[in-house]
Amino acid sequence: MTMFDLSADLQIFYDKHVRLGVDRRKKLADNRDLNIVRLKNGLDDLAEESKRPRPHPYDWQNQGGYAMHTLNQDPRDDNDYDIDVALLFERSALPEDPRAARQRVADALCKRCTNFTQEPTARTNAVTVWYAEGYHIDFAVYRTYTDEFGRQRMEHASTEWKERDPQEINKWFQNAVGTKSPAGGLLTKVPEGQLRRIVRFLKWFTRSRPSWSLPGGLIVSTLVVECYRPSFDRDDVALYDTIVALRNRLAADMRVYNPADRSEFTANSEIANQVKRFKDQLDMAVGKLAVLFEKECNRSRGRGAWDWIFVHGFWGDKEVAKVAMDEALATAALPTPYFVKIRCELARTEGAKTYKRYESGSSVLPKNVALKFTVESTNVPAPYKIVWHVDNHGDEAAEHKQLTWETPPSDSFEKWTSTAFKGSHRMICRIWKDGRVQAETSHIVKIAPGRWWRR
């Protein structure tokens, strides 16, 4: 049975809504360049304080989705973009301990970076800066030197110094796009680089719902390169066939390996769970797209099927409206003459000094940020009791049986929580008096996935 043809629509969607585009790409590049300047200035500040040299990186290189040209627009318009940058230092310019090397970069960024949602943090594989605008930058630290045999060495500051080429993944992917995509010619009806477009579509799919916690871009790219099914005629056929191939592959084997060093991504239990969820959603996708092969399929039904995949108004507002309705119900207020107002502030740890106020539903926060909720005011006459109620929305909270919980009625005007699970974290404050709720309000916190989401 021939698949209903919506390839022209898919191309328009790709060009207008999926591809990052020149302007967004330039803005991210400007942010990258600004932060590299901040890093260098921060190193100068450290040198002045310590009276010891703190050399600059002699070069830097793009990594990840930005370098691979698979970075998409944000499906939720939250500016949740990541920029991966490799900083190249001479070996003599860094501490011998890789953790100390990362910490020096973090300390330098702390000197000059402002308006972040979390202080620059030296993580296992990179130093991350999260900005209030939504985007974040990962600085991977590398050192280079010539060994005793005259060979150039490049090592990454991880748990130890590990030999690694920061361009290895990019080279692998560019080669795959060039060799696996249909070559141009008289028989080829699709533009060059089809594999890259299919990767972009599948990356969009994994981010189409804020509640989903699915594999990161590098893992999705790895699986798509392995399972890609080209079509010389239509991108929509290639996308469908690749979705089916991915589903079948993961049904047989859910292990995924790093294409650079063949280490197993899924040895990490969090990633293994993400891959399992990905397989479950691919099962759903295959079922939703089955209508494209029915005789009765028409343009409206076909676009509705792709709407389930992409959840974007371009295809039809059914899925978008469903998500919007869920959010509207979540923030609906009680019909009452009384009110209560709360605020949310960010801190490094519970009980620590807060460093920033967070407005409801604003920028996406990283995990492991402490949240301090406080009652600012209410017109409910005293005495009354306060109940703090939490609703979490997302795969991770469901798996940890933390979708909802609440405190007993108390006199506490404060409640601490944290950004523990990817998705949305809704804090509801209820004022109880005379045996019923007199006033209620809620505050939405958007939470990003962990590091393995990225690329």
DSSP string, 390-441: EEEESHHHHHTT-SEEEPPSBS-SEEEEE--SSEEEEEEEEEEETTEEEEEE
Question: What are residue 56's phi and psi, to 5 degrees?
Answer: -80, 160
Fold assignment, 18-166: Beta Polymerase; domain 2 (3.30.460)
pLDDT the model gives residue 118: 79
Residue showing tokens 């798996």: 399
- The SS3 call for residue 332 is coil
Ramachandran class of 445: left when φ > 0, alpha when ψ lies in -120 to 50, beta otherwise: beta
CA dist 265 and 252 (Å) reads 17
Query: DSSP secondary structure string, 173-235?
Result: HHHHHHHHSPPPSTT--SPS-HHHHHHHHHHHHHTSSTT-----HHHHHHHHHHH----SS-H
Q: Checking DSSP bridges between strand 82-90 and strand 136-146, what pairing results, if any?
A: parallel
Is residue 443 within 8 Å of 333, Cβ to Cβ? no
Percent of the chain with pLDDT over 70: 95
Average pLDDT over residues 57-74: 96
Is residue 170 within 8 Å of 63, Cβ to Cβ? yes
pLDDT tens, position by position, 309-368: 999 999 986 655 555 555 555 555 567 789 999 999 999 899 999 988 999 988 889 889
Fold assignment, 333-453: Immunoglobulin-like (2.60.40)
Question: In angstroms, how far is CA 416 from the centroid of its own chain?
Answer: 25
Question: Helices 235-252 and 269-289 sit at what angle, rounded to 10 degrees?
Answer: 130
pLDDT the model gives residue 334: 60
pLDDT the model gives residue 135: 84
Bridge partner list, 446: 424
pLDDT the model gives residue 449: 80
Q: Which helix (H) or strand (E) holds 82?
A: strand 82-90
Q: Which two tokens stand for residue 69?
A: 């040209």
Is residue 213 within 8 Å of 222, Cβ to Cβ? no
- The predicted model scores a pTM of 0.88
pLDDT tens, position by position, 427-442: 999 999 999 999 999 9
pLDDT the model gives residue 454: 44
Residue showing tokens 């304080």: 49
List every span in the chain annotated with CATH 3.30.460.
Answer: 18-166
Please say if the pLDDT value at position 445 is more than 90. Answer: yes
CA distances from 13 to 4, 81, 285, 310 (A): 17, 19, 18, 10
Question: Helices 217-227 and 269-289 sit at what angle, rounded to 10 degrees?
Answer: 50
Q: Which two tokens stand for residue 299?
A: 């343009």
Is residue 255 within 8 Å of 266, Cβ to Cβ? yes
Question: In angstroms, how far is CA 313 from the centroid of its own chain?
Answer: 21
Largest CA distance in the chain: 82
Query: Which has more confidence, 113 or 122?
Result: 122
pLDDT the model gives residue 185: 86
**Per-residue confidence band for 259, with pLDDT thresholds at 50, 70 and 90:** very high
Please say if the pLDDT value at position 452 is more than 50. Answer: no
CA dist 64 and 83 (Å) reads 7
273: exposed, middle or buried (Cβ count in 10 Å: 0-12, 13-18, 19+): middle
Of 198, 117, 178, the C-alpha closest to 445 is 117
Q: Which helix (H) or strand (E) holds 112?
A: helix 98-112
Percent of the chain with pLDDT over 90: 83
Bridge partner list, 387: 430
List every span in the chain annotated with CATH 2.60.40.10.
Answer: 333-453
Query: Which has more confidence, 363 or 22?
Result: 22
Please say if the pLDDT value at position 62 is more than 70. Answer: yes
Bridge partner list, 72: 19
Query: Which has more confidence, 16 or 118?
Result: 16
- The SS3 call for residue 143 is strand
Which of the residue ranges 366-370, 373-377, 421-425 has the most confident prediction, judged by mean pLDDT?
A: 373-377
Question: In angstroms, how far is CA 43 from the centroid of its own chain?
Answer: 29
pLDDT the model gives residue 377: 96
Query: Which has more confidence, 454 or 299?
Result: 299
Cβ partners under 8 Å of residue 170, min gap 6: 62, 63, 67, 68
CA dist 446 and 211 (Å) reads 10
